[in-house]
């Protein structure tokens, strides 16, 4: 399952409900998608999820609570550097500690799985630059890394790839 949290309407929500792209939704909306490339990741409801046994009602509640916490944390962090968090995708896993199980964030949160718009210009600083063939992908990712202080003002992004943290 993929959980998507949206604070602003982007393409699918705007098209499906005929609201303008970029409109703020009344409150954060969480949607679930069945992760299956052959089926084009269809949206599913809590009914589908529980009926097919992919997650229990309690696990769905935990995923939603986690998505809201992640959103609170990330939207604040990004507002501080002049970026609006439009939406993001999150995948969860079950972490067992003895008999106890916790739902945890199980994948990366990165410009590939979030929508980030510059607050002033609304410029896209995320994977949509690639998806919509807009160019300037590396520049946008570098700009985000710079604003977050991950790389220095005059430093260039390296393409060394991620390092394993033990
Ligand atoms: N997303 C993702 N992987 C996917 C599908 C979506 O990381 O397989 C992210 C995407 O980057 C965006 C959010 O989930 O931040 C919502 O994307 P979606 O394609 O559902 O939005 P749409 O453009 O259809 O409104």
Tokens of 73: 């944390």
pLDDT, tens digit (0-9, with 9 covering 90-100), for 57-116: 999 999 999 999 999 999 999 999 999 999 999 999 999 999 999 999 999 999 999 999
Percentage of the chain exceeding pLDDT 70? 99
DSSP assignment, residue 30? E
Q: Please state, in angstroms and rounded to a whole number, the distance separating the CA atoms of residues 166 and 8.
A: 36
pLDDT, tens digit (0-9, with 9 covering 90-100), for 17-60: 999 999 999 999 999 999 999 999 999 999 999 999 999 999 99
Q: Please state, in angstroms and rounded to a whole number, the distance separating the CA atoms of residues 129 and 124.
A: 7
Q: How remote is the CA of residue 14 from the centroid of ligand 1, in Å?
A: 13
Residue 164 φ/ψ, nearest 5 degrees = -75, 125
| Best residue among 2, 25, 43, 89 to mutate for probing ligand 1, ranked by most atoms within 8 Å of CB | 89
Per-residue confidence (pLDDT) for residue 142, from 0 to 100: 95
Residue 142 φ/ψ, nearest 5 degrees = -65, -40
CA angle 40/75/82 to nearest 5° reads 110
Per-residue confidence (pLDDT) for residue 31, from 0 to 100: 98
Decide: 67 in ligand 1 pocket, CB within 6 A. Answer: no
């Amino acid at each position: 399952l993929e959980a998507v949290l949206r604070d602003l309407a982007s393409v699918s929500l705007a098209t499906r409900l005929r609201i303008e792209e970029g409109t703020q939704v009344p409150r954060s909306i969480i949607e679930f998608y069945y992760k299956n490339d052959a089926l084009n990741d269809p949206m599913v409801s809590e009914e589908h999820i529980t009926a097919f046994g992919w997650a229990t009602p309690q696990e769905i509640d935990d995923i939603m609570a986690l998505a809201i916490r992640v959103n609170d944390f990330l939207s604040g962090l990004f507002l501080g550097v002049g970026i609006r968090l439009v939406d993001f995708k999150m995948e969860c896993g079950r972490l067992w500690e003895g008999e106890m199980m916790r739902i945890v964030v199980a994948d990366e949160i990165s410009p590939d799985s979030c929508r980030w718009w510059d607050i002033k210009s609304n410029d896209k600083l995320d994977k949509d630059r690639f998806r919509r063939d807009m160019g300037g992908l590396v520049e946008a990712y570098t700009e985000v890394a710079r604003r977050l202080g991950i790389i220095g003002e005059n430093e260039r992004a390296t393409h060394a790839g991620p390092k394993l943290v033990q």
